[in-house]
Amino acid sequence: MEFYSRVGKMAIGSRLRRLSERLTDQAAAVYRLYEIDFQPKWFPVFYMLSQRDGMTITEIAAEIGHSHPSVSKIVSEMRKAGLIEGRKDDSDGRRNRVVLSAKGEEMREKVKEQYQDVEQASLKLLSEANHNLWKAMEEWEYLLDQKSLLRRVEEARKERESRDVRVIDYTPAYRDAFRELNEEWIRTYFKLEPSDLKALHHPEEYILNPGGHILVAIDKAGEALGVCALIPMKEGPYKYELAKMAVSPDTRGRGVGHLLGKAALGWARQHGAEKVYLESNTVLAPAIRLYEKLGFQKITGYPSPYERCNIQMECIL
């Protein structure tokens, strides 16, 4: 127990496995107490067959929440023990159903008193505990159905890694990173167009000097993880266009794009923008989801200078 106290909650799976093994060993002892030759792991399958007049392996697996291979293995073991046998399905001769054998039927009668005693002992154990384990397991199963442990760990990882990311104003030291990060994603999905080349090779002339802004997301070592720009718009209701957002492929999934987007919208708001415009392509599904999360909605905008643009969006600040 000292190990689990020291390691903490990250060992929850190991501790539950330890508890499961302990209960399984004691369940085996209970079967021996009643002189029943039975393995505890067979119980879910045996119980279901005790309640039904034959079931397929697929039906059993779905009912008890086990995998098909797991149920197949248990059925094979129980067949060797003489507790079950196969039978052709009356409605479909191609399907085999599993039923209790004569020996299995005898055991069903034999375990009834044991079931009563085990249930009574379990209820007493639950009443002695400060926390109802049965209800807690139901709650945990529900919560894991809503969001898996894997997904929760992914979110925790993203949150931790995002704390090491800072968003700073562009300096000439990040000129190459601004160009290379954008060229990488454009070439992956589309082709570089003349408007790209102007802005990426001459960001000061085409973005900064006219009154725009560039933001850079960096790690603790100062390496650029992502970039984005706010390009001034001369006509229409928009003061800025959010553009040239790119994140390093090695850091995608860490929330860098969201940090950049929030910082860009904050900068635009501080500089008098009431709405921000952007252009994208629906093939970039993760980017569209990011924009929607930031508050952008689809609109019908102006003719775009980019061939790849097939969606236009705005964010009201």
pLDDT digits (tens, 9 = 90+) for 59-89: 999 988 889 999 999 999 999 999 988 887 6
Q: Which of 118-132, 154-168, 211-225 has the highest mean pLDDT?
A: 211-225
pLDDT of residue 137: 85
pLDDT of residue 149: 82
Please list, in sequence order, all residues whose beta carbon lies within 8 angstroms of the beta carbon of residue 169, skipping any fewer than 6 positions away.
213, 214, 215, 216
Distance CA 138, CA 207 (A): 56
For 113-119, what is the mean pLDDT?
A: 88
Please list, in sequence order, all residues whose beta carbon lies within 8 angstroms of the beta carbon of residue 159, skipping any fewer than 6 positions away.
255
For 216-260, the pLDDT digits (tens) are 999 888 899 999 999 998 877 888 999 999 999 888 777 899 999
267 pLDDT exceeds 80? yes
Token pair belonging to 33: 């107490």
Q: How many domains does the chain have?
A: 2
pLDDT of residue 176: 93
153, 183, 200 — which closes off a domain? 153
Q: Which of 28-32, 154-158, 307-311 has the highest mean pLDDT?
A: 28-32
| Antiparallel, parallel or unpaired: β 240-247 and 275-280 | parallel
Q: List the domain range (segments joined by +) for residue 234.
A: 161-316
Please list, in sequence order, all residues whose beta carbon lies within 8 angstroms of the beta carbon of residue 40, skipping any fewer than 6 positions away.
24, 27, 28, 31
Query: Do 197 and 295 fall into the same domain?
Result: yes
- Strand ordering across the sheet containing 275-280: 166-169, 213-218, 224-232, 240-247, 275-280, 311-316, 297-299
What is the CATH classification number for the domain harbouring 306?
A: 3.40.630.30
307 pLDDT exceeds 60? yes
For 160-176, what is the mean pLDDT?
A: 87
User: Which candidate, 302, 307, 230, places its Cα nearest to that of 262?
Assistant: 230
Q: Which of 31-40, 91-100, 252-261 has the lowest mean pLDDT?
A: 91-100
Query: Do 8 and 115 fall into the same domain?
Result: yes
Query: Do 145 and 26 fall into the same domain?
Result: yes
